């Protein structure tokens, strides 16, 4: 029996979904958790695909760990929690070609790619969806440059380490990009607020007479309550006086 799971590397915890999947197999959940967490410890903080090969008769199981999705490996490599969400307008990071090669090498054994160059292009494709720049350029441009052979040397030599000088250049470029993005976002938010106000103002203008009437009604209700309270207080006072007189007389 094969059970497929996508787990948090080194930090898998019990839950209803896991119980439903393991229930029919009749295997011990604690043993499964321990084995999976030990097997996926190297991928801590990443989503990792795992397969359990279970012998239902003997209750013996084996854990097969596959490398995490390319997107998860990229996020770890670039130290980002998530992609941009709007990849055509915003960028989440600026990667070096060496970082892309590093991710491609890690994932290569689980990819249907004929060579490392094809794997690198697959990783570049994922950068498009995550909103990640590569070498200060869009992933689409980099893909064309890979086809033209610009990075043949780096790919052939399987370079995975970025020089400190290059890191600094990439960081400086992305810092400028990010500041421009933040300014643009502020402008968009401001214009969106203005558009919303323009839509709301006519509606508010139409509703003003009704709002005024409601305010007047609220004021009248308050005044009536105050008048009733005052009346009740006046009625109670003489009764107390009469009671006191009757007691003294008796």
Q: What is the CATH number of the domain that holds 40?
A: 3.30.1550.10
Task: Report yes or no on 9 lying in a domain.
Answer: yes
Torsion angles phi and psi, residue 222, rounded to 5:
-60, -45
Residue 127 and residue 152 in one domain: yes
Query: 69: part of which helix (H) or strand (E)?
Result: none
Q: Which of 137, 156, 183 is the last residue of a domain?
A: 183
Sheet order of strands, 60-65 included: 2-8, 47-55, 60-65
Residue 14 and residue 40 in one domain: yes
Q: Which of 183, 204, 223 is the last residue of a domain?
A: 183
Q: Which of 12, 47, 65 is the last residue of a domain?
A: 65
CA distance 84 to 105: 24
Residue-wise pLDDT for 154-205, tens only, equals 999 999 999 999 999 999 998 888 888 777 777 666 556 666 666 666 665 6
Q: Report the Cα 207 to chain-centroid distance in Å.
A: 39
What is the domain-level CATH number for residue 163? Answer: 1.10.10.250
Residue 87 and residue 24 in one domain: no
Domain count of the fold of the chain = 2
Residue 55 and residue 75 in one domain: no
Residue 112 and residue 167 in one domain: yes
Task: Report yes or no on 226 lying in a domain.
Answer: no
Q: Mean of the pLDDT values across residues 76-86? A: 80
Task: Report yes or no on 84 lying in a domain.
Answer: yes
Residue 119 and residue 15 in one domain: no
Whole-model pTM over 0.85: no
Q: So what's the pLDDT on residue 250? A: 44
Residue 32 and residue 126 in one domain: no
CA distance 73 to 120: 13
Residue 110 and residue 179 in one domain: yes
Please, are residues 15 and 64 in contact by the beta-carbon 8 Å criterion? Answer: no
Please, are residues 62 and 37 in contact by the beta-carbon 8 Å criterion? Answer: no
Task: Report yes or no on 57 lying in a domain.
Answer: yes
**Which structural domain range is residue 124 located in?**
70-183
Query: 71: part of which helix (H) or strand (E)?
Result: helix 70-78
Task: Report yes or no on 249 lying in a domain.
Answer: no
Residue 82 and residue 166 in one domain: yes
Residue 54 and residue 96 in one domain: no
Task: Report yes or no on 98 lying in a domain.
Answer: yes
Residue-wise pLDDT for 98-141, tens only, equals 999 999 998 888 888 899 999 999 999 999 989 899 999 999 99
Torsion angles phi and psi, residue 2, rounded to 5:
-105, 125
Residue-wise pLDDT for 25-79, tens only, equals 788 888 888 998 988 888 887 888 888 888 888 888 898 888 888 998 999 899 8
Residue 74 and residue 153 in one domain: yes
Q: So what's the pLDDT on residue 207? A: 63
Task: Report yes or no on 198 lying in a domain.
Answer: no
Residue 46 and residue 100 in one domain: no
> Encoding tokens for residue 24?
């029919």
């Amino acid at each position: 029996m094969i059970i497929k799971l996508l787990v948090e590397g080194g930090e898998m915890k019990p839950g209803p979904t896991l119980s439903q999947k393991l229930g029919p197999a009749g295997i011990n959940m604690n043993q499964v958790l321990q084995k999976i967490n030990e097997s996926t410890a190297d991928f801590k903080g990443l989503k990792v695909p795992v397969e359990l090969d279970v012998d239902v008769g003997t209750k013996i199981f084996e854990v097969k760990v596959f490398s995490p999705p390319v997107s998860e490996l990229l996020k770890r490599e670039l130290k980002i929690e998530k992609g941009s969400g709007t990849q055509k307008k915003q960028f989440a990071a600026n990667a070096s070609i060496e970082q892309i090669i590093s991710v491609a090498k890690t994932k290569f054994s689980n990819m249907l790619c004929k060579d490392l160059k094809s794997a690198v292009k697959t990783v570049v494709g994922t950068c498009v969806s995550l909103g990640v720049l590569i070498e200060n350029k869009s992933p689409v441009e980099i893909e064309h440059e890979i086809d033209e052979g610009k990075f043949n040397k780096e790919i052939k030599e399987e370079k995975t380490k970025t020089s400190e000088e290059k890191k600094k250049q990439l960081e400086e470029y992305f810092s400028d990009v990010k500041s421009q993005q933040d300014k643009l976002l502020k402008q968009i938010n401001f214009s969106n607020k203005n558009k919303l106000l323009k839509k709301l103002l006519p509606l508010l203008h139409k509703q003003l007479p009704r709002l005024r009437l409601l305010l007047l009604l609220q004021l009248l209700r308050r005044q009536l309550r105050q008048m009733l309270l005052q009346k009740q207080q006046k009625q109670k006072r003489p009764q107390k006086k009469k009671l006191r007189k009757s007691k003294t007389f008796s």
